[in-house]
Structure formats: C-alpha cells, structure tokens
Amino acid sequence: MKIALLGYGKMGQVIERIAVERGHEIVLKKDEFNTYDGLSTADVAIDFSVPSAAVDNISNCFHANVPVISGTTGWLEHYDEMAALCKEKNGGFISSSNFSLGVNLFFELNEYLAKMMSKFESYKVDMEEIHHTQKLDAPSGTAISLAKGVIENSNYTNWTMEEAKNNEIHIEALRIGTVPGTHTVTYNSPIDSIEIKHTAHNREGFALGAVIAAEWIVGKHGIFSMRDVLGSNSK
C-alpha cells in the first residue's frame, strides 16, 4: 500500500516507521516546506499535521481521489464542510480525535459508565487532560470526544473550561513536559469519587491505530469512524 503522510513531525515519523514495518511504502512526506507532489499516486493519506493545515490537506486528498485518515484536532469547525466535500467527490474519510485502540476502548467504557451514573444525581462529573507543551489545541480532541460521550448518555448538555454550571462538564487542560496524553473522568459526590483514566506511555498506540485505519479504508467510499474499523459500531 502506498501512503502519503501529511504532516511529518514526531507523529508522522512514528507512523512512517510502523507503516514500513507493516510492508507499506511512503510516497509523500508533506510538511510546510514542500508540495503535494506524489499525493495522486497514494492509495491512502494519513494526516497528522496542525489545525491550520488540516483543511487544505484533507480537501487536497478528496480532489486527488485519495481516501484520508485525519488525526489532527483543533479544526472541527470546518468538519461539516469537509464531510460535504467527501460526499461530493465520493471519497473515503475517517477523522478521529484519537486512533489508539486503548483510547477507543476507553471511549466505550466512558459511555457505559455515563449511562450508569446518569441515574445518580449526587455525582457530578468533571474531566482532566494532560499533554505535552507542544500540543496547540486545548482541550484535547480526545477530551471533547469523552465529554460528548457523557452528554449523549446523560442529562449534561455542554462542556466548558470555565466554572461549570449544573448541566455542564468542566474540562481541565494541562500542558506539562513531554506527556503523550492522559485523560481522567471523575464522578464526585459528597461521599466518594469514581474515576476512570487512560494514560498513553508513548505515541505508538496512536500511530498503529492510524495505520490500521488506513489499511481498512482503502477501496471504501463514505465517512467512517474508528468504531467501524474496530468492528464495534453496533449502536
């Protein structure tokens, strides 16, 4: 399989290594200093760039008839626009805040727990996410996905980084050292606390999940999710 890497920072380099180990060929390493030459020869593109570049990267893939896996966060105000372009061009698209298998299991656990806890009004939920100091967006896309998972399975209606109202989930975003990513969901009551937590030890899980998603989407048309890739989209 021929892969175009859109974004060649630390994540892009880990993805390259894992892709090559799995027998794939890298035909483009796109960064801010080069062009999209080679994109049209790719079977699939993987975008781990920056928020300001993501929309251009994704739209160029659709125009080149190349399915795209996007792990870039912080650009989702343009998601509907990209989804419409995907449909117009009959493209293939997966955008996920996190491609890690462990995090996607954590998403499922979070939704299950939210459904259970929605019956007990004495518990108030809040979230904390910790990432390295080079991460540009806050809160993380993963934290937003976790908050949405709670909202869809409870009486909460919104998330905030400010002081939370009764129907809001507070998200605390911290930027510390080189932390790959830690997400904690806590239910607090006057009596006790219940907490679930995912800690990434390195970037390997994110990169492997993105490559697996890329392998899965080749030859497919439409907008998919990691639930589709992992075969857990039974909702």
Residues across the chain: 235
SS3 91: coil
Q: What DSSP designation does 167 have? A: T
Q: 96: burial class by Cβ within 10 Å (0-12, 13-18, 19+)?
A: buried
Residue with tokens 């117009």: 88
**CA–CA distances in Å: residue 187 to residues 84, 139, 153, 184, 209:** 38, 19, 14, 10, 29
Q: Are 64 and 85 in contact (CB under 8 A)?
A: no
Indicate the residue type of 51: P
Distance CA 195, CA 139 (A): 19
Enzyme catalytic residues: 131, 135
Q: Which residue has the tokens 């060929």?
A: 25
Please name the residue that has the structure tokens 């993380």: 140
